[in-house]
Amino acid sequence: MVNDRRIPAESGGIEALPASFAIRFSPSSHLISIVRRFVHSFYGKVLDDAELASQLALATHELLENAVKYGTTNEAGLAVTVAELDDGFSITVAIRNRAEEEDIAEARRLIDALAGAADPFAYYQELMHEAAERVDGSGLGIARIAAETGMTLEAAIVDDELEIRARTTFKPRRST
């Protein structure tokens, strides 16, 4: 159960929380960019934090493209959830889609490697070197989220679908 709460306006100009949403659609490249722009604009407004909104948009885009590339159906679910914590908010971008077992295993391997890496940025650099030699795809999308946004990643199977979640926390700025 998500426990959303409205953040008082006096805490920093945030206009409207709760601010969670979920959609299920057939994510073409064109639609992915539209959804990314929505996430960027919407969370830029309600969180009043352009940097964080940009990070959420990047995670949304990369995860949705991942779903297109590795999905076995033309459907994917996107959920962005803002949940209250004791000292702020947790924000999760989750993408769900059906995928082949081997691709699920590869996604989990990569996410585990990122989680276990002493320095995710250094691990990302290793993957960038590998990407230069790849013919097909970059293999960078998931690692880019971790390294460039600092969001933590996890993978789970939910209703027979692979769900990849990128999570961060947010503390509203206090007005002076």
Contacts with another protein, residue ranges (CB under 8 A): 29-30, 32-33, 36, 50-51, 54-55, 57-58, 61-62, 65, 68, 121, 124-125, 128-129, 131-132, 134, 137-138, 140-141, 144, 147-149
Pick the closest to residue 56 from 71, 66, 43, 69 (CA basis).
43
As given in the structure block, the two tokens for residue 80 are 């962005």
Torsion of CA 48, 16, 169, 106, to 10 degrees: -100
Nearer to another protein, 44 or 172 (CB): 44
For residue 8, the minimal CB distance to another protein (Å) is 26
Query: What is the Cα–Cα distance from 52 to 40, expressed in whole angstroms?
Result: 9
Nearer to another protein, 55 or 81 (CB): 55
* C-beta of residue 35 within 8 angstroms of C-beta of residue 64: yes
Pick the closest to residue 91 from 18, 9, 12 (CA basis).
18
For residue 88, the minimal CB distance to another protein (Å) is 20
For residue 79, the minimal CB distance to another protein (Å) is 21
Nearer to another protein, 45 or 84 (CB): 45
For residue 160, the minimal CB distance to another protein (Å) is 26
